[in-house]
Chain A
């Protein structure tokens, strides 16, 4: 257990629905990252926060994706109008010298 938690652990949804994932980082860590991992690939960077400020977004993060980190604590990642290609493991990482990953949320879009 790294101290980073994610909720839910699994999500099955139908195409076109909206989904929201939550990440609770280690409390004293001010950087938080989101990654996406598909089968047979390593995690790919999506976005990161320094406290409450979203400082960088990957080209992978289409307009249907939005992330927030109100008050610099937990973070949410929302996907609107889900597509089958969004099916993946979504990983959150909390950073202080090294990135510590949560267990991930596995999303399946039917």
Chain B
């Protein structure tokens, strides 16, 4: 079945460091891929998405490229800020109307 494997955390970075959070997926067909962010005590917010191969999703300095050949959707940011500290979830949806599959989440802490 469909699944998402996400890099385990926690990840601790200094401010302005480069961030990569790895995400790979298993799915039949051509899923849509998402990154969600969860700040402490809150629900999830959509960070970015990509709906087909080679699409690049981007938002707030974060980017992820849908790589069909490597079945990956790694999240990157060139210079993290303290305010980026949160838990990041990779997710996929195989077919419209079907459920989302979430990775286990990666906790990021950015220190000044």
A and B found bound together: no
Which residues of B are in contact with A by a Cβ distance under 8 Å?
Answer: none
